[in-house]
Amino acid sequence: MKVEEKLALNAIKNHDESHIVLDEETCARCETRICIRACPAGLYSVEPATHKVIVDHSGCLECGTCMVICPLDAVTWRYPDPGYGIRYRHG
């Protein structure tokens, strides 16, 4: 089962505005792009046209891995606004 299919099973209410913001200039200098492999939800990817690292906050499991693992501190991450984000039904 693909990760997107698993995320689709979760109860989640996505905000229009992303709670994860990347510092594009810093990301452009990044050699590891570890966020892409580390995010358990697979939300990070490289935009084919621009080769930039991008993140799609919808589906975020709110673990914080990307913020902690980023070697360049380029991830600004906060909890989604109240009423939004993942809602674990089982946990």
Partner 1 sequence: MSDGEELDVVVVGAGCAGLACAYELASNGLTVAVCERGDVAGAKNLTGGRLYLEPLKDLCGDLLEGAPFERTVVSESIVLTHGDASTSIRLDHGVGEDRPHSVTVLRGKFDQFLADRAGEKEAFVMGEQRVDELIREDGKVAGVMVGGEEVRAKVVVAADGALSFLAVEAGLRKSREPRCFGVGVKELIKLDASVIEERFNVAPGQGAARMYLGDVTDGLPGGGFLYTNRDSISIGVVVQMDELEQRGEEDTFNDLINRFKERPDVAPLIQGYETVEYGAHLIPEGGFDAIPELGIPGLFLVGDAAGLVLNTGNLLRGMDLAMASGVIAARSIIEFREGDPGCPECLQHYKNSLTNSFVIEEMRAHRKAPKILSNERIYKVYPPAVVDMLRSLFEVDEKGEGVPVKRAVKEMRRTVGTWAAMRDIMRILKL
Residues that bind partner 1 (CB under 8 A): 1-3, 6-7, 9-10, 32, 34, 37-38, 40-42, 61-65, 67-69, 78-79, 81-83, 85-91
User: Beta 12-13 vs 85-86: how paired, if at all?
Assistant: antiparallel
- Compare residues 51 and 89 and give the one whose CB is closer to partner 1: 89
> Please, which residue, 31 or 47, has the CB nearer to partner 1?
31
Nearest approach, Cβ of residue 76 and partner 1 (Å): 12
Would you say 2 or 47 has its CB closer to partner 1? 2
Classify residue 22 by burial, with Cβ atoms within 10 Å: 0-12, 13-18, 19+.
buried
| CB of residue 44 to partner 1, shortest distance in Å | 10
Instruction: Find the shortest distance in angstroms from Cβ 65 to partner 1.
Output: 5
For 42, the token pair is 């697979």
Q: What is d(CA 42, CA 3) in angstroms, rounded to the nearest whole number?
A: 7
